[in-house]
């Protein structure tokens, strides 16, 4: 039965990430209550196929009709973990218009419609959180917005696609072809059956678009961002770089100089002194150059059920408790 004072959450999507969010919320009730002052409760889940068996409590309302989610009384937050611009954009627009807070992991949506959604959320006075759209478990959105307010970001160089980074790492380490490395990545669940978004760089492009909008406050047109993938890379290219003690990295770049902004996704050959040289496998990393602070690196898991669920639940808590833990910890004594 639903607690009157609880924060009520609807999940859109119950795949790897959505079910991860559900498990995290269910398994740390005490901690979440301590952090936000109320229980957090998943009251509804939107799925494609309601007949499929899923591991969730019988109190959770499962539906394939988003209107039924919107019609729920006392809903507070929509946590969205589906794929593609539509129907997600329509869903989140309606949720925001109804005064619901939103947490999303949908990078394709946010790259194309994040600007509009943020404006809408601002007009409605609700929170729209999107840490999970960029760099998986690496909290780069939070770092840029909360920890670097005074610094002007001059440059970002980032490994934002764990699949392409894994493939480049394997090609070098095991002297295998891109096709073979891709097959390995697929077998391990690191790459989709259709790997186009990863291999051709679109996934990294979405993330660079999102970061560019965040840093400039201006909408980015995809057509103005050059995007190269790793599909043209041969074992020979890798070996040639290796001979020079260099590595080929698939990197998203943003350069900001006054009003001028340059963004692209491309292949970068780096030597050992470059901060992204040692970022290997499925890790993501964001190298930020601030005008005061110099070079900072934020590195971590680029994807995965719990890392992604983790940043989404952090976003959820941050809606209700944007204060620091330091003060609270001292009182715990």
Give the residue from 330, 321, 308, 325 showing the smallest Cα distance to 138: 308
Report the alpha-carbon distance of residue 96 to residue 48 in Å, rounded: 22
For residues 178-217, which are near a second copy according to CB under 8 A?
A: 214-217
Report the alpha-carbon distance of residue 6 to residue 10 in Å, rounded: 13
Neighbours of 273 (CB within 10 A): 6
Q: For a second copy, give the closer residue by CB, 228 or 296.
A: 296
Q: Which of 8, 113, 170, 207 is catalytic?
A: 207
Judge contact between 76 and 317, C-beta under 8 A: no
Neighbours of 330 (CB within 10 A): 8
CB of 193 to a second copy, least distance (A): 25
Residue 39 near a second copy by CB under 8 A: no
Strand-pair partners of 261:
256
Residue 135 near a second copy by CB under 8 A: no
Q: Which of 60, 70, 72, 297 binds a second copy (CB under 8 A)?
A: 297
Residue 294 assigned to a binding site: no
CA distances from residue 47 to 24, 42, 61, 62, 311 in whole angstroms, order as listed = 19, 14, 11, 7, 22
Residue 301 near a second copy by CB under 8 A: yes
Residue 50 near a second copy by CB under 8 A: no
Class of residue 136 by CB neighbours under 10 A (exposed 0-12, middle 13-18, buried 19+): buried
Q: For a second copy, give the closer residue by CB, 140 or 227.
A: 140
Residue 67 near a second copy by CB under 8 A: no
Q: For a second copy, give the closer residue by CB, 74 or 295.
A: 295
Q: For a second copy, give the closer residue by CB, 47 or 288.
A: 288
- 207 counts as catalytic: yes
Instruction: Please tell me whether residue 104 adopts helix, strand or coil conformation.
Output: strand
Residue 30 near a second copy by CB under 8 A: no
Instruction: Please tell me whether residue 329 adopts helix, strand or coil conformation.
Output: helix
Determine the size of the site formed for a second copy (CB under 8 A): 68
DSSP state letters, 194-258: S-HHHHTSHHHHHHHHHHHHHHHSSPPPGGGSEE--STT--HHHHHHHHHTTEEEEEEEEEEEET
Neighbours of 209 (CB within 10 A): 30
Q: Which of 103, 206, 318, 319 binds a second copy (CB under 8 A)?
A: 318
Residue 320 near a second copy by CB under 8 A: no
Q: For a second copy, give the closer residue by CB, 227 or 313.
A: 313
Listed ranges 44-52, 102-110, 191-199, 269-277: which one lies at the site for a second copy (CB under 8 A) = 269-277
Which residue ranges make up the site for a second copy (CB under 8 A)? 24, 28, 31-32, 35, 115, 118-119, 122, 137-139, 141-151, 214-219, 272, 275, 277-278, 285, 290, 292-301, 304, 306-307, 309-311, 313-314, 317-318, 321-333
Summarize the annotated binding site for NADPH as residue ranges. Answer: 107
Annotated binding site for NADP(+): 13-18
């Amino acid at each position: 039965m639903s607690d009157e004072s609880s924060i009520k959450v609807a999940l859109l999507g119950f795949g790897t990430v959505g079910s991860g969010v559900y498990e995290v919320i269910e398994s740390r009730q005490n901690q979440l209550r301590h952090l936000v002052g109320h229980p957090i409760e998943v009251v509804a889940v939107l799925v494609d196929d309601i007949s499929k068996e899923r591991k969730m409590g019988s109190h959770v309302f499962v539906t394939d009709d988003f209107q039924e989610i919107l019609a729920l009384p006392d809903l507070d937050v929509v946590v969205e973990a589906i794929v593609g611009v539509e129907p997600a954009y329509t869903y989140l627009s309606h949720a925001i218009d109804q005064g619901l807070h939103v947490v999303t992991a949908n990078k394709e949506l946010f790259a194309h419609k994040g600007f509009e959604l943020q404006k809408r959320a601002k007009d409605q006075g609700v929170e729209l959180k999107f840490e999970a759209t960029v760099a998986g478990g690496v909290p780069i959105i939070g770092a840029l917005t909360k920890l670097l307010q005074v610094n002007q970001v001059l440059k970002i160089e980032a490994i934002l696609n764990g699949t392409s980074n894994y493939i480049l790492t394997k090609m070098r380490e095991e002297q295998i072809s891109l096709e073979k490395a891709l097959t390995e990545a697929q077998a391990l669940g690191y790459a989709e059956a259709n790997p186009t978004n990863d291999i051709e760089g679109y996934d990294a492009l979405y993330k660079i678009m999102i970061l560019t909008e965040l840093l400039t406050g201006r909408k980015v047109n995809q057509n103005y961002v050059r995007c190269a993938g790793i599909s043209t890379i041969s074992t020979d290219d890798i070996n040639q770089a290796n001979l020079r003690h260099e590595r080929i990295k698939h990197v998203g770049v943003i350069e900001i100089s006054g009003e001028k902004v340059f963004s692209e996704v491309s292949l970068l050959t780096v030597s050992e002194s470059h901060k992204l040289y040692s970022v290997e496998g499925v890790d993501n990393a964001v190298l930020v150059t601030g005008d005061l602070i110099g070079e900072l690196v934020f590195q971590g898991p680029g994807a995965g059920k719990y890392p992604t669920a983790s940043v989404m639940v952090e976003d959820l808590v941050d809606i209700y408790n944007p204060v620091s833990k330091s003060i609270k910890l001292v009182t715990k004594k």
